[in-house]
Amino acid sequence: MKDEFIMVHTSCESKEEATRLSQGIVTEKLGACVQLYSNVESVYTWNDHIMNEKEYILNIKTKAILFNRLETFIIENHSYQVPEIIATPLVMVSEAYGDWIRKNTA
């Protein structure tokens, strides 16, 4: 179904935080799968300073209807003052994978 599924992207400062968030998201059924990417370098502006930091990226496959709950969970459990929370619609998803996401999310 169009616009039913999304991938939510967030970043973390440590592997421990990324793992904790990933496990919490799957346990709470806010995402069916979380992929954790390491060794990412981010360059950004924070408090008028150019920052260059190592980060861990999480890609969360979930249902669009769960975005607000997932956003709240990330904000409440994240160390960043302003965590990155970006959702991208998954326009095409195989039927079997879509069924799996539905089965493994709230």
Q: How far apart are CA 13 and CA 77, in angstroms?
A: 13
- Predicted TM-score (pTM) of this structure: 0.94
Give the pLDDT score at 3. 65
- 43 phi, psi to nearest 5 deg: -120, 125
Q: How confident is the model over 20-32, as a mean pLDDT?
A: 98
User: In the predicted model, what is the mean pLDDT of residues 81-101?
Assistant: 96
* 74-86 mean pLDDT: 97
Contacts of 27 (CB under 8 A, 6+ apart): none
What pLDDT is stored for residue 2 in this prediction? 57
User: What domains are defined for the chain?
Assistant: 5-103 (3.30.70.120)
Instruction: Please tell me the predicted confidence (pLDDT) of residue 76.
Output: 98
Percent of the chain scoring above 70 in pLDDT: 97
Contact call for residues 30 and 74 (beta carbons, < 8 A): no
